[in-house]
């Protein structure tokens, strides 16, 4: 299973766009990239998933370059409630539930 590397923590201010980059150099051909968000005392929650190029939903955008060795989660105009830990996971179509959660990126949004 592909290992991921992401920054330990990031700070931002309300209203700014936040980009969190994840490195996954040994991503396999059939791997997808998935991001989860975890608030204190809660289980992780799915944010977005993609395979290549760009994916956008009502919460975030995910940018994946052609070589797929990295990906960037973009959160537009963050608010205080976006303060959380963000996990980047890489896993196959089948068995993706066995992917590894790293330590994630702790995002602090300040007023």
Q: Which positions touch another protein (CB under 8 A)?
A: 31-32, 34, 36, 41-46, 49, 51, 87, 91-104
The nearer residue to another protein, 13 or 101, going by C-beta atoms, is 101
The nearer residue to another protein, 84 or 104, going by C-beta atoms, is 104
Residue with tokens 């590397």: 5
Least distance (Å) between residue 69 CB and another protein: 17
- DSSP-derived letter for residue 5 is B
Show the beta-strand stretches assigned E in the chain.
Answer: 9-13, 18-23, 31-38, 45-50, 53-56, 61-64, 70-75, 84-92, 105-110
The nearer residue to another protein, 18 or 36, going by C-beta atoms, is 36
């Amino acid at each position: 299973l592909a290992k991921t590397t992401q920054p330990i923590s990031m700070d931002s201010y309300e209203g700014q766009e936040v980009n969190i980059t994840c490195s996954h150099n040994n991503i396999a051909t059939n791997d997808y990239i998935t991001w989860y968000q975890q608030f204190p005392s809660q289980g992780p929650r799915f944010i977005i998933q993609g395979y290549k190029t760009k994916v956008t939903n009502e919460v975030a955008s995910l940018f994946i370059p052609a070589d797929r060795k990295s990906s960037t989660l973009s959160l537009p105009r963050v608010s205080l409630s976006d303060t959380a830990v963000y996990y980047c996971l890489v896993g196959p179509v089948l068995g993706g539930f066995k992917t590894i959660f790293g330590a994630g990126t702790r995002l602090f949004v300040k007023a």
